[in-house]
Amino acid sequence: MAKVLVGLSGGVDSAVAAALLVEQGHEVAAGYMKNWINQEGIPGDCPWEQDIEDAHSVACKLGIEFRVIDLIDSYRERIVDYLVEGYRSGITPNPDVWCNREMKFGIFLDYALEQGFEKVATGHYARHREANGMAQILRGADPNKDQSYFLSLMTRRQVEHALFPTGEMLKPAVREAARRFDLPVAGKKDSQGICFLGQVKMTDFLSHYLEDNPGEIVNTEGKVMGNHRGLHFYTLGQRKGHGVASPREAMAYVVVGKDVAKNQLIVGWDSADSGELYTAQCMVGAVSAINEPLDCMRLIEAQPRYRAKAEPAMLEPVDGGRLSLKFERPQRAIAPGQVCAFYDGGRLLGGGVFESTSP
């Protein structure tokens, strides 16, 4: 049995994770990570007060110690600043993946180890395994809820200290377990917002930190098609809201690129034949390898975004610890700044951040 600090968020998944660990006989305490309280008054719903109350009620029900751990300054430095500066520079960051690496299994894990805990547990739908003396992450048992993608930038050390008690379960079974344990959050709806920011529109969030920076919208031939508010408001593959009317739905204009130096938003056709939005070869940096080095050419399965299908791709190390990734089939709207997760079947190998793409 281990001494475990559970990251109790106020939701049903982490509550069931805590209950399962108590049932299994572990020495369990709960910690609520107080990361964001929306002091800036950004429009949106950030129910942190209700979440603390719900998390505390779960801990009381289970008879375990409850702590509120103030990580607001670290969250602003490691996640909010990263998010804002990423959009300012023209990339599309993924705060949820970085939040797991930098906060839940970064600052929070460091705190847990300093306090004498051996493991940190969360309600992620992923499976933890020990094989050949190494900790591994497998896809969650529920294919509709699998969250291993969001863990792809974790380090080997972080994985060694992680537990995912609900990863072996399907979501309906988690709800049933919550009722069996008579947890006060058994009927609470799942959170759909950005990691710890809650239900806030990204445009509203960015508007608070970044001023509008209007510029031209051009097509791939350089013809001016209109004007944009600021490159940070647009994403690759965006079909609506860019301000350029399409001649017909079958040939819709979409965002295919950003020229940061010229402050130009580039639109083109959403067609695999055009090659404007689809790419097969990418450069990946900020690489994390979970339990084996990614230091030789090999065929893997690469998942370029959360809800995308993992596709066969040839991985090849290049200079500076970066990787060249060549998909067997061109992928749509791969954006610099987004995270790509690497798999060997159902086993998570690690991941990295897209730096550049080639048609």
Q: Which of 46, 195, 282, 340 is catalytic?
A: 195
- CB within 8 A of 248, min separation 6: which ones? none
Whether residue 3 contacts residue 147, with contact meaning beta carbons closer than 8 Å, is answered with no
Helix, strand, or coil (residue 337) = coil
- What does the block give as tokens for 64? 């375990």
HSE on the CB side for 62, CA within 13 Å?
34
CA–CA separation, 306 and 183 (whole Å): 29
Q: How far is CA 254 from CA 75, 244, 257, 266, 340, in A?
A: 33, 9, 9, 8, 22
CA–CA separation, 296 and 315 (whole Å): 8
Cite the DSSP H helix spans in 70-150.
72-75, 81-88, 95-99, 108-114
- What does the block give as tokens for 156? 């080997």
Phi-psi category of 116—alpha, beta or left, where left has phi over 0 and alpha has psi -120 to 50?
left
Residue 60 annotated in active site: no
Whether residue 284 contacts residue 342, with contact meaning beta carbons closer than 8 Å, is answered with no
Whether residue 317 contacts residue 294, with contact meaning beta carbons closer than 8 Å, is answered with yes
Whether residue 69 contacts residue 32, with contact meaning beta carbons closer than 8 Å, is answered with yes
CA–CA separation, 316 and 329 (whole Å): 17
**Encoded amino acid at 103, one letter:** M
Q: Which of 46, 60, 99, 340 is catalytic?
A: 99
DSSP 229: S
**Encoded amino acid at 192, one letter:** Q
- In this structure, is the dihedral angle defined by the CA atoms of residues 287, 8, 93 and 333, taken in order, positive or negative? positive
Residue whose tokens read 């979409």: 254
Residue 99 annotated in active site: yes
Q: To which H or E segment does residue 141 belong?
A: none
DSSP 155: -
Q: Write out the catalytic residue numbers.
A: 99, 195
